[in-house]
Amino acid sequence: MGLFETNVQMIGNRTMMRTESAYEYYARSERPSIASIRRVLGEWYEDLPEESKLDVQKRFRSPVPGQHEGAFFEIYLHRLFTRMGFELQAHPDVEEKDTHPDYLVKKQGRPCFYLEATITRDSSDDVAERQRADQVFETLEKLVSPDFYISIRVQGAPQTPPPGAKLRKKIESWLQSLNYENVRSTFDSGDLEAMPSLLWKHDDWRLTIEPIPKSPERRGSTDVRAIGMTLPPVRQLSLHDDVKKAVEVKNKYGDLGLPFIVAINVTDEFRVTKNDVMNALFGEETILFDGKRALPGPRRPNGAWYSGRGASNTKISAVMVYPNVTPWNLQDREPWIVLNPWAKYPLNAEAIRLSKFVPNHSDNALLEVKGMSCNRFLQLSEDWPGPDD
């Protein structure tokens, strides 16, 4: 019972399609880099506790992004902590609770702490909107245009399924009406505001399509993707809110009697930063200013660990916040690890051999303690997952 199915139809070395699930692509691609991912994740999966394998396998194979990503993150954490010398018991029973943390982590048979894995995801509405958009973009990849690629600037999001095939025909007709030499001259001049454009609307979704002239050598070729560039809509980042909610949601097991670590994978294209993590835990930063200068002010009392009522969620001893670790970047993603100064069950900082922020109660400050990299334990190559040629 392996992590990946073996009786699947392979798809060669093509790139991943927009509407294709991550698991489906990993299972069927023949690219050498994907074969490396299959091999390594398959090996890591085999080391999981037997009682958790079926559940992890089902979720890893799911076409639902959150299910697949959550299962991958559990596999990753199990490998990391076992390589640090721990033993992990999956889904331990908790007194008077029907739910179970992901792992009870032990050292030489002695319970040390509980570990919970979670991810941040867009809302179901956001996911549905993105899926509708991806279906259109995948249709547009098939448009026939011997002279031009296209650039797409996006505003808003589709609330209902857009007519992708109808839009593709409209763009093909518009591109055929353009004079290649004139567009090429304008493009080469750098006067991008003078480039022709086509505006298309559906619901509150607006696409501005612009031509990108193919090089003389590529003119007439239709064997590459038509979309040369997609500029997504501007959105407000709230990564610290995502981290805060993840911490608060996981404060559900009551008194575990041991330290409790919540590991969070922030699955966002924008990488979470130390400031995001600290704002999420201790409250957002403020600025004080007068007529001459600006100075750091006190934090707002709206953090997961410190609110207007004082210390909060004290049963969570530490967080490990990852900036979107995926099978593609296993070798270079490091978490922000922060220990809770007000934890009911403080975590032994020396137990985790990675870099971390540790409370110094004598100075009322967090100290950064340098440690080893995750890849010191994972031992993957620097160019992971390797070349495809």
CB-CB neighbours of 192 under 10 Å: 11
What pLDDT does 236 receive? 46
pLDDT tens per residue across span 221-266: 777 778 887 776 654 446 678 888 888 887 788 889 999 999 999 9
What pLDDT does 238 receive? 64
Is pLDDT above 90 for 178? yes
What pLDDT does 376 receive? 97
What pLDDT does 4 receive? 97
pLDDT (average), residues 101-124: 89
Is pLDDT above 70 for 347? yes
pLDDT (average), residues 184-193: 90
122 confidence band (pLDDT: 50, 70, 90): low
d(CA 270, CA 139): 27
Sort 123 into a burial class: Cβ within 10 Å, 0-12 / 13-18 / 19+. exposed
List, in sequence order, the alpha helices (H) in 269-310.
274-282
pLDDT (average), residues 123-132: 70
pLDDT (average), residues 79-107: 90
pLDDT tens per residue across span 51-82: 999 999 999 999 989 999 999 999 999 999 99
Given a contact cutoff of 8 angstroms between Cβ atoms, the answer to whether 222 and 146 are in contact is yes
Least confident of 116-130, 227-241, 331-345: 227-241
What pLDDT does 303 receive? 92
CB-CB neighbours of 64 under 10 Å: 13
Give SS3 for 159: coil
Nearest one of 347, 314, 353, 377 to 113, comparing CA atoms: 347
**Share of residues in the chain with pLDDT > 70 (%):** 95
pLDDT tens per residue across span 279-308: 999 999 888 887 778 888 888 889 999 988
Orientation angle between helical segments 50-60 and 32-46, nearest 10 degrees: 150
What pLDDT does 123 receive? 55
151 - beta bridge partners?
210, 229
Beta strands at 356-360 and 365-369: parallel, antiparallel or unpaired? antiparallel
What pLDDT does 246 receive? 84
Give the residue with greater pLDDT, 356 vs 362. 356
Phi, psi of 300 (to 5 degrees): -70, 145
Mean pLDDT of the chain: 90
109 confidence band (pLDDT: 50, 70, 90): very high
Sort 276 into a burial class: Cβ within 10 Å, 0-12 / 13-18 / 19+. buried
287 - beta bridge partners?
296
Sort 283 into a burial class: Cβ within 10 Å, 0-12 / 13-18 / 19+. buried
Residues 6+ apart with CB under 8 A from 57: 1, 3, 45, 71
pLDDT tens per residue across span 311-330: 999 999 999 999 999 999 99
Running DSSP on this structure, what letter comes out for residue 92? -
Phi, psi of 359 (to 5 degrees): -70, 135
Sort 295 into a burial class: Cβ within 10 Å, 0-12 / 13-18 / 19+. exposed
Predicted TM-score of the model (pTM): 0.82
What pLDDT does 240 receive? 76
What pLDDT does 286 receive? 85
Is pLDDT above 80 for 126? no
Q: Residue 302 is encoded by which pair of tokens? A: 């709206």
166 confidence band (pLDDT: 50, 70, 90): very high
CB-CB neighbours of 113 under 10 Å: 23
What pLDDT does 383 receive? 95
Is pLDDT above 50 for 155? yes
Sort 347 into a burial class: Cβ within 10 Å, 0-12 / 13-18 / 19+. buried
